[in-house]
Amino acid sequence: MNKFEYSFDNKRYHTYNYFLKTRYATKVAKIPLNANFTCPNLDGTRAYGGCIYCSSKGSGDYAGDINDDLMVQFDKLTPLFQKKWPGCRYIAYFQANSNTYGPVAKVKAMVAPFLQRDDVVGIAIATRPDCLEDEMVEYLSQLNKITDLTIELGLQTIHDKTGKLINRGHGFDEFKTALQKLRDHDIDVCVHLINSLPYETEEMMLETARVVGAMDIQAIKIHMLFVLENTALATMYNRGDFALLGRDEYIAIVARQLSLIDKKIVVERLTGDGVASDLIAPMWSIKKVTILNDIDKYMVEHDLYQGAKKEL
């Protein structure tokens, strides 16, 4: 098998491990943090209730305890990584909800302590396209000059009909505007996509990957839709309103999506973590390693590589 140029192992896509080790010459781990932000589609600015799949923690189920100071959250997790990878360094990842939705002063205070740590090599901030006012982007531009900054933008799909159904509260045009504002300041962007959103066809999922994979983005995350307890999505699913992709379908679609994404784009994630205690479906998603292994096998069997633009 021919070795892919942006991977250290048998992966046929641009791995996050390759990117981090090439850039920092050491193991780097992301530490998920909860800075107690909210979202404009939670508080009524855009909508109420949040996205229909979001848990009460706003996609921050694995972030730190909101009752702890951010540095306490950070210090609770780092020993686990040091035990696994001695000498590991870190990216402070502000994960839960929309971490640029608020005053610039709050974001500055959130980030400041981590800029003083020698073991922190960068900052990652998760947010939404409609939470990037000009004053905020100007601050992010200054932050980008003193640390390695990545803005993680939730998009999920390019299809506005789906966006309305899942209560995103913004459309694809707003995403494109936000992306351009960030890239005008040379700020790296990681885009989040979800497969198996209600009523989306395989062709729609591939089209999302094709369009986003040709944009000026630096990284991408893809994961399966999780149906979690006590969400609007769970109500729809339990009524039988839509069906989820099966495991083999998901693997095939992700492999094909990768072939449509520019090879220079770093692939940070190809599957996710639904909290097991709250997960209704798909239960097969819990076994992450086997899913990743089978994506690799599928790409070999079908001679697929990231960026090869080959569809079956």
Question: What is the pLDDT, as a whole number, of residue 312?
Answer: 54
Q: Which residues neighbour 254 within 8 Å (Cβ) at sequence distance 6 or greater?
A: 195, 222, 270, 271, 295
pLDDT in tens, 132-155: 999 999 999 999 999 999 999 999
Question: What is the pLDDT, as a whole number, of residue 44?
Answer: 82
Choose between 84 and 48: higher pLDDT: 84
- Mean pLDDT (whole number) for 156-161: 98
Task: Report if residue 68 sits inside a domain.
Answer: yes
Q: Is the pLDDT of residue 187 over 70?
A: yes
Q: Is the pLDDT of residue 273 over 60?
A: yes
Question: What is the pLDDT, as a whole number, of residue 60?
Answer: 46
CB 152 within 8 A of CB 221: yes
- Mean pLDDT (whole number) for 196-218: 98
Task: Report if residue 102 sits inside a domain.
Answer: yes
Tell me 147's DSSP state. S
Which CATH number fits the domain that encloses residue 221? Answer: 3.20.20.70
Q: Is the pLDDT of residue 49 over 50?
A: yes
- Mean pLDDT (whole number) for 10-30: 96
- Mean pLDDT (whole number) for 117-121: 96
Question: What is the pLDDT, as a whole number, of residue 57?
Answer: 52
Task: Report if residue 130 sits inside a domain.
Answer: yes
| Domain span at 66 | 16-301
Structure confidence at residue 94 as a pLDDT band (50, 70, 90): very high
The tokens 């000059």 sit on which residue? 145
Task: Report if residue 46 sits inside a domain.
Answer: yes
Share of the chain above pLDDT 90, in %: 85
CB 202 within 8 A of CB 253: yes
Structure confidence at residue 311 as a pLDDT band (50, 70, 90): low
Task: Report if residue 240 sits inside a domain.
Answer: yes
CA distances 121 to 24, 90, 110, 233, Å, are 8, 6, 16, 37
Question: What is the pLDDT, as a whole number, of residue 58?
Answer: 45
Poorest-pLDDT segment among 52-61, 143-152, 253-262: 52-61
Question: What is the pLDDT, as a whole number, of residue 239?
Answer: 97
Structure confidence at residue 258 as a pLDDT band (50, 70, 90): very high
- Mean pLDDT (whole number) for 228-253: 96
In this structure, the dihedral spanned by the alpha carbons of residues 3, 5, 8 and 9, taken in order and rounded to 10 degrees, is -30
Q: Is the pLDDT of residue 37 over 80?
A: yes
- Mean pLDDT (whole number) for 184-210: 98
- Mean pLDDT (whole number) for 96-125: 96
- The residues with which 93 forms a beta bridge, in sequence order, are 32, 124
Question: What is the pLDDT, as a whole number, of residue 62?
Answer: 59
Task: Report if residue 175 sits inside a domain.
Answer: yes
Output the pTM of the full model. 0.94
> What is the tally of structural domains in the chain?
1
Measured between alpha carbons, how far is 43 from 61 in angstroms, rounded to an integer?
Answer: 19
Average pLDDT of the chain, as a whole number: 93
Task: Report if residue 307 sits inside a domain.
Answer: no
- Mean pLDDT (whole number) for 199-206: 98
Task: Report if residue 161 sits inside a domain.
Answer: yes
Share of the chain above pLDDT 70, in %: 96
